[in-house]
Amino acid sequence: MIFHDTETIVAPATAVGGALCVIRISGKEAIAICDNIFQGRKPLSEAKTATLHYGNIVDGGVVVDDVVVSVFRAPHSYTGEDSIEISAHGSRYIVNKILSLITHQGARIAEAGEFTRRAFLAGRMDLSQAEAVADIIASSSQAAHAIASTQMRGAYSDELRALREELIRITSLLELELDFSEEDVEFANRDELRNLLNTILNKVNSLANSFSLGNALKEGIMVAIAGRPNVGKSTLLNRLAGEDRAMVSDIAGTTRDTIEITTNIDGVTYRFIDTAGMHSTNDRLEQMGIERTEQALRKARIILWMQDCNECHSSMEDFSPTPNQTLLRVVNKIDLMEGHHTPSAQDELVPTFYISAKSGEGVDKLIEEFKSLTNASSAYEGEVIVSSQRHYDALIQSRTALQSALNALNAGISSDLLSEDIRQVMHHIGTITGEITSDDILKSIFSKF
List interacting residues with ligand GDP (CB under 6 A). 229-235, 248-250, 254-255, 277, 332-333, 335-336, 356-358
Give the DSSP H or E segment for 63: strand 62-72
Compute CA 77 distance to the chain's CA centroid, rounded to the nearest angstrom. 26
CB of 250 to ligand GDP, least distance (A): 4
Which of residues 47 and 331 has its CB atom nearest to ligand GDP in the complex?
Answer: 331
CB of 243 to ligand GDP, least distance (A): 14
Q: Which residue is nearest to ligand GDP (CB)?
A: 232
Which of residues 234 and 415 has its CB atom nearest to ligand GDP in the complex?
Answer: 234
Which of residues 198 and 249 has its CB atom nearest to ligand GDP in the complex?
Answer: 249
Which residues make Cβ contacts (< 8 Å) with residue 174, sequence separation at least 6? 187, 188, 415, 416, 418, 419, 422
CB of 238 to ligand GDP, least distance (A): 8
Give the DSSP H or E segment for 425: helix 415-433
CA distance 355 to 345: 18
Which of residues 335 and 383 has its CB atom nearest to ligand GDP in the complex?
Answer: 335
CB of 276 to ligand GDP, least distance (A): 9
Q: How far apart are the first and last CA of the chain?
A: 21
Give how far Cα 17 sits from Cα of 14, 45, 91, 117, 204, Å.
Answer: 9, 31, 6, 26, 45
Cβ-count burial 127-140 (b if 16+ within 10 Å, e if not): bbbbbbbbbeeebe
| Total number of residues shown for the chain | 449
Sheet harboring 38-40: ordered strands across? 38-40, 51-59, 62-72, 83-89, 20-26, 9-12, 108-109
CA distance 445 to 449: 8
**Helices 190-219 and 415-433 meet at what angle, rounded to 10?**
30
Q: How many other CB atoms are there within 10 angstroms of residue 243's CB atom?
A: 10
Which of residues 70 and 235 has its CB atom nearest to ligand GDP in the complex?
Answer: 235
* DSSP state for residue 212 in the 8-state scheme: H
CB of 255 to ligand GDP, least distance (A): 5
Nearest residue to 316 (alpha-carbon basis) of 301, 327, 302, 300: 327
CB of 327 to ligand GDP, least distance (A): 17
CB of 336 to ligand GDP, least distance (A): 5
Give how far Cα 317 sits from Cα of 103, 277, 289, Å.
Answer: 65, 12, 18
Give the DSSP H or E segment for 69: strand 62-72
Cis peptide upstream of residue 75 (ω within 30 degrees of 0): yes
CB of 354 to ligand GDP, least distance (A): 10
Largest CA distance in the chain: 87
Which of residues 98 and 334 has its CB atom nearest to ligand GDP in the complex?
Answer: 334
Which of residues 215 and 235 has its CB atom nearest to ligand GDP in the complex?
Answer: 235
CA distance 28 to 312: 72
CB of 284 to ligand GDP, least distance (A): 19
CB of 246 to ligand GDP, least distance (A): 7
CB of 110 to ligand GDP, least distance (A): 48
CA distance 422 to 55: 58
Which of residues 136 and 363 has its CB atom nearest to ligand GDP in the complex?
Answer: 363
